[in-house]
Amino acid sequence: MSDIVTDLSVQPSASPSTIDRARDSWDAWHADRLRAVAAPTGNLALIETRWLAADDSTTPEEALAGRPETVTATGLSRRSLETGELERGIRLWDAQSPAIRAFETIEVFPFDPSWVIEATFTPVSDDRTIPFEHIRDNGLTRELVVPGDIAFEREGVAYTLSAFDDDGTLLLVFGDPTNGADGEDGTYASGRFLFVERDGDRVVLDFNRAFVPPCGFSDQYNCPLPPRNNRFAVPVTAGEKRVVLRDGSQH
């Protein structure tokens, strides 16, 4: 079991049973993350994202021509920021990519029960969206549906966060002062992600499961950046920090 950090100056924001459940499953979650990012189609395996011209009918199978057997291909789509038209793309994944071969681990903070937070979820209308800027969109934004507001209080500060719908799961994109910071408490520069557990109007934000976004493993991803209301003024010293490679370098 990992070391436990308890900040006695911060009152628990979740019930003892919720904290115990989060603590008991944390080691398994971390081990699953290490396996998943290095899987044949995990984050480290992505070697190319190719967006096709409107008249390009290339299929994922055709994109594999001349590639080694370790490479697989999948399709994806998006809306053009300029025209709104649907664009097709192809991704290539290599089970023996240089990133997988170089991967050592993902640094993490020790589990901290004070960062397990029970919050309230308030649904909003289906047409509610928030503009998200993505790393590779040159300052332009994409409107993503936000199904509701997540509200809680921590250390006397009220927060209202926006998590978007990621294939039926709430995904929070957030930032805090640890992003890009030097030293042992520094985390991935662009922010981190967190899947939010929801049960009706109740949600659990377990920041011990905050994770480095896919773009922290491959520059072939286009990650959304934290919107203004999802940026904490205090350091979130929980969850994953940075990707570590075998030569000792960090992403």
| pLDDT at 247 (0 to 100) | 81
Q: Which domain holds residue 241?
A: 16-34+104-245
Better-scored residue on pLDDT, 155 or 188: 188
Q: How far is CA 5 from CA 2, 71, 75, in A?
A: 10, 42, 43
pLDDT at residue 126, as a whole number: 76
Q: Is residue 220 part of a domain?
A: yes
Domain boundary among 61, 76, 102: 102
* Residue 2 domain flag: no
Average of pLDDT values for 122-145? 84
> Same structural domain for residues 169 and 68?
no
Computed from CA positions of residues 92, 93, 94, 98, in that sequence, does the dihedral angle turn out positive or negative?
positive
Q: What is the pLDDT of residue 8?
A: 39
Does 11 reside within a domain?
no
Residues 16-27, mean pLDDT to the nearest whole number:
97
Q: Which residue, among 36, 38, 33, 31, has the nearest Cα to 95 in the 3D structure?
A: 38
Q: Is 7 contained in some domain?
A: no
Residues 205 and 155 in one domain: yes
Domain total of the chain = 2
Q: Classify 239 in phi/psi space as left (phi over 0), alpha (psi -120 to 50) or beta.
A: left
pLDDT tens profile 33-86:
999 999 999 999 999 999 999 999 999 999 999 999 999 999 999 988 888 899
- The residue out of 74, 102, 130 marking a domain boundary is 102
Q: For 84-112, what is the mean pLDDT?
A: 96
Question: The whole model's pTM is what?
Answer: 0.91
The two three-digit tokens of residue 236, written as one number: 């979130």
Among 79, 102, 125, identify where a domain stops.
102
Confidence check: pLDDT of 12 > 70: no
Write down the pLDDT at residue 143. 85
In 3-state terms, what secondary structure has residue 199?
strand
Residue 71, CA atoms < 13 Å, CB-side half-sphere = 18
Look at residue 146 and tell me if it is in a domain.
yes
Mean pLDDT of 155-170: 91
**pLDDT above 70 as % of the chain:** 94
Predicted local distance difference test score (pLDDT) of residue 44: 98
Same domain, 53 and 123: no
In a domain, 4, yes or no: no
Mean pLDDT of the chain: 92
Is the same domain home to 188 and 209?
A: yes
- Does position 185 have pLDDT exceeding 80, yes or no? yes
- For the cut 80, the answer to whether the pLDDT of residue 11 exceeds it is no
Same domain, 23 and 130: yes
Q: Does 147 share its domain with 230? A: yes
Determine the pLDDT at residue 10: 56
- Tokens 């436990």 correspond to 4
What integer pLDDT is reported at residue 1 of this predicted model?
Answer: 35
